[in-house]
Structure 1
Amino acid sequence: MNPDDLKNIAKLWFKAFNEHQLENLLELYDDNAEHFSPKLKIREPKTNGLIKGKDSLRNWWKECFERLPTLQYEVNKLTADSEQVFMEYTRKVEGEEDLLIGEVLEIKDGKIIFSRVYHG
């Protein structure tokens, strides 16, 4: 895919996430998508940080949106090639310190097939 198309998918991702529009967010993912996050390792240790499939993603983000109703991501930078987009953003939650995050979305046929989150 064209790098600009991948950046547009990332922009749709941020819009859906920041509006806490769970189904719009999930629509961007392949049915068998995988997601890795250090937060998963902490909150759900049995996953070892990795979940698979839209149902798992739905459960993860539903709980996240309910637990953190003020959660917002502020985009700092998007960098894309023909297969993936790197997103650098700041996680903002009322009452918490801001957290700089890097995330890679691997995209195939217009759908996210794998996402990986990195932060300290």
Structure 2
Amino acid sequence: MDLEFARTFAAEWLDGWNSHDLERILTHYHEDVTFSSPVIAQMTGDASGTVHGKEALRAYWATGLERIPELRFELVDVRASVHALVIDYRNQIGGRVSEVLTFRDGLVISGFGAYGETLAN
């Protein structure tokens, strides 16, 4: 992975989220994706904070988009690694978030969100 790919991906990812188009967002994710976040734990009551599979991710994000109609992300920075990238952004309440996304076959196979002082409402 190179920084150009990471920046292009992040721009498409951000546009997808800001459009609130769930299917557009999900085009970047593998069927076997695993995603973890403290917001998952907060919203679902599942202490593991993890969803497994694209369908579970779809259900979780559909609920999130419904509960947070003002959701909006602002890109702060993007970094690339060997098979992963980090998207650093601010959410709709000004909270700083980093998402670490690992790829397999060009799609996100695993990821996690890491939050600063505030979590999403």
Same fold (TM over 0.5): yes
Deviation at 1:46, TM superposition (A): 2.5
Q: TM-score, normalised by structure 2?
A: 0.88
SS of 1:46 mapped into structure 2? coil
CA RMSD of superposed structures (Å): 1.3
Between the aligned residues of both structures, percent identity stands at 27
Q: TM-score, normalised by structure 1?
A: 0.89
Q: 2: distance between equivalents of 1:119 and 1:89?
A: 10
Q: 2: distance between equivalents of 1:36 and 1:51?
A: 6
Give ranges in structure 1 of 5+ residues lacking alignment: none
SS of 1:72 mapped into structure 2? coil
Give aligned pairs, total.
Answer: 116
8 Å contact 1:76–1:89 — kept in the other structure? yes
Deviation at 1:66, TM superposition (A): 1.0
SS of 1:35 mapped into structure 2? strand
Deviation at 1:63, TM superposition (A): 0.8
Deviation at 1:108, TM superposition (A): 1.6
Give ranges in structure 2 of 5+ residues lacking alignment: 117-121
Q: Which amino acid aligns with 1:40?
A: I
SS of 1:59 mapped into structure 2? helix
- Indicate the residue corresponding to 2:96 in structure 1: 100
* Cα shift readout 1:55-110 (whole Å, capped 9, x = no counterpart): 11111111111111110010000011231111110001xxxx42111110111221
Deviation at 1:7, TM superposition (A): 2.8
- Indicate the residue corresponding to 1:111 in structure 2: 107
Deviation at 1:31, TM superposition (A): 0.3
